[in-house]
Amino acid sequence: MTPAEHAELALLLEVAGTPKPGNVDRERDLDDLRFEQFLAGAVGAREGLEAAANGPVGEAFETAVAGMADASGTNTQFGCLLLLTPLVRAAARNDLSPEGVSDVVEATTVEDAAAFYRAFEHTDVAVPDPPAGADALDVRRGADAVSALRERDLTLRDVLELSADRDANAAEWVEGFPRVFRAAARIEAARGPVADRAASAFLELLAEEPDTLVVTEHGEAVAEELQERALGLQAADREEVAAFADDLAERGVNPGTTADLTAAALFVALERGVAVDD
Amino acid sequence: MTPAEHAELALLLEVAGTPKPGNVDRERDLDDLRFEQFLAGAVGAREGLEAAANGPVGEAFETAVAGMADASGTNTQFGCLLLLTPLVRAAARNDLSPEGVSDVVEATTVEDAAAFYRAFEHTDVAVPDPPAGADALDVRRGADAVSALRERDLTLRDVLELSADRDANAAEWVEGFPRVFRAAARIEAARGPVADRAASAFLELLAEEPDTLVVTEHGEAVAEELQERALGLQAADREEVAAFADDLAERGVNPGTTADLTAAALFVALERGVAVDD
């Protein structure tokens, strides 16, 4: 399979993995977000993922987000695609490693940053406030922020560095994807259906750091509570994890950034030979 | 979305629909066949589905089957792809109708037939015995049958006509896809999540005719029993259908041809505007 095919499959396996507390999975739809919308989002993102294998990551990301939004009618996998795009590019260059993906990140341009901003116009994304003094660069301004980018000569890497302290996906971008590669190694080492391994990886990632989407939407205390509870469930049976999942669904708490990291880790594991017929 | 994207999404929605008695679905893996293998099969088939939009259906079908088998490690969607390939071609020509797809079928060549035979070399397919006197054309001979095809100047349509009385997919090919278009109209008229509509369409198709894969694998009596029971469940609640599903799973009876027809009907419905965010 090609890197773009593995990336699309990673999106599908991520949403299939269950129980994945707080998120849509094979066994759970949310009130306003259904499993089948994630299937459609993955299909729609494929064209952009193929573009990532061949060209600039910013434009490829925008194409993937536009395709996802058109197919699913909502924002199903924006964060996943932000992580997958440079990883697909690195894999297509036969250098899927922390160094290889850092090379891709370092090579991003102001044009990549402009495409990243345009991507926000295709769908609604929950984002933290911009750093103090960086209102002109608020991603919620979409294409209106592009002139500020050009004036300041900011690349996509520069832009993501600005939010690395409050967005785990941005932190991965600037730090060589450490959590993604570690989770991928755990998926590789595990046994059983790949979607089950993804669900375990999700719970491990949730126990590792507070989910930054939860911080944005519900505050730090809630994110830390989730981390604590995930930590206590590392050796738990499926029923205990399912009870945690029911609780989060009821409260409307969605650790979406942890799902993004899980999808990216699945991609790396698939590239390294993990397969659904293992 | 393009016809190839709709076709891939149809494969994913088909396997997501539940309960779909006897088959893998969102809530059921079989012992030797897992949900995630169908996700991978759909991803792997995409390249062939894109080829179907642009060129000869036989070669596109072979590419789709090879991609499916490579990605899933097994035969997840051979029959679905046989139905989808000419439908994608007709849609790409802006003529997705019984007449439009019949034009595609009538235009098939001996080369399309040869590619169809080669497709059997990529994966294991359960097929009925060939008609009396047609042993040289047994699909289980794979590429070895190609010289017999050429000698007799048989197109892909001709080949499928030979088994139209014992394979519902072949019958659709030569008759203008009547059951597929009827089921698509029912999916269009229904409301609710598309995968739920697919599960209903499956049960209606099962009640309509004996499943020909079940006839091949278990004999006519079993296929007729399934049809009868499906007929009795048309107004049943989810629990009664689920009990039927449990029974078939336990007995290892898999109405796979009915699933093929369901996927094809989903494709037509998606092309006609049905969407996951309806």
The complex's ipTM? 0.96
Confidence of residue B4 (pLDDT cuts 50, 70, 90): very high
User: Containing domain of residue A196, as a range?
Assistant: 3-271
- Asked whether the whole model's pTM tops 0.80, one would answer yes
pLDDT 10s digits, A129-183: 888 888 889 988 888 899 999 999 999 999 999 999 999 999 999 999 999 999 9
The residue-averaged pLDDT of B20-49 equals 96
* Domain assignment present for A276: no
The pLDDT of residue A130 is: 85
State the CB neighbour count (10 A cutoff) for residue A2: 16
Indicate the average pLDDT of chain A.
Answer: 96
* Measured distance CA(B206)–CA(B262) in Å, rounded: 10
- With beta carbons under 8 A apart, name residues in chain A contacting B42: 12
Confidence of residue B143 (pLDDT cuts 50, 70, 90): confident
* Domain assignment present for B160: yes
The pLDDT of residue A129 is: 85
A45 contacts A81 by C-beta, under 8 angstroms = yes
Q: Helix and strand tally (H, E) in chain B?
A: 15, 0
Give alpha helix (H) positions in chain A: 3-16, 35-54, 57-72, 78-92, 98-106, 110-119, 146-152, 156-162, 168-175, 178-189, 194-208, 212-218, 220-232, 238-251, 256-271
How many angstroms away from the CA of A208 is the closest CA of chain B?
27
* Domain assignment present for B276: no
* Domain assignment present for B194: yes
The residue-averaged pLDDT of B199-211 equals 97
Closest Cβ–Cβ partner in B36, B72, B193 for A16? B36
* Measured distance CA(A257)–CA(B263) in Å, rounded: 33
The residue-averaged pLDDT of B237-256 equals 95
Task: HSE, CB side, 13 Å, CA atoms: give it for residue A90.
Answer: 26
* Measured distance CA(B77)–CA(A18) in Å, rounded: 24
pLDDT in tens, chain A (278 residues): 999 999 999 999 999 999 999 999 999 999 889 999 999 999 999 999 999 999 899 999 999 999 999 999 999 999 999 999 999 999 999 999 999 999 999 999 999 999 999 999 999 998 888 888 888 899 888 888 999 999 999 999 999 999 999 999 999 999 999 999 999 999 999 999 999 999 999 999 999 999 999 999 999 999 999 999 999 999 899 999 999 999 999 999 999 999 999 999 999 999 999 999 98
* Measured distance CA(B109)–CA(B115) in Å, rounded: 10
Residue type at position A184: A
CATH number for the domain including A77? 1.10.4200.10
* Domain assignment present for A10: yes
Closest Cβ–Cβ partner in B39, B71, B277 for A1? B71
Q: For chain B, what is the radius of gyration of the CA atoms?
A: 17
* Measured distance CA(B84)–CA(B78) in Å, rounded: 10
8 Å CB contact of B194 and A275: no
* Measured distance CA(B69)–CA(A146) in Å, rounded: 45
8 Å CB contact of B34 and A8: no
Task: HSE, CB side, 13 Å, CA atoms: give it for residue B44.
Answer: 26
- With beta carbons under 8 A apart, name residues in chain A contacting B277: 37, 72-74
pLDDT higher than 90, residue B25? yes
* Domain assignment present for B278: no
B88 contacts B49 by C-beta, under 8 angstroms = yes
8 Å CB contact of A5 and B46: yes
* Domain assignment present for A157: yes
* Domain assignment present for B129: yes
Cβ neighbours of residue B163 closer than 8 Å, sequence gap 6 or more: B127, B128, B130, B131, B170
* Measured distance CA(A213)–CA(A219) in Å, rounded: 9
pLDDT 10s digits, A218-243: 999 999 999 999 999 998 999 999 99
Residue type at position A57: V
Instruction: Please count the structural domains in chain B.
Output: 1
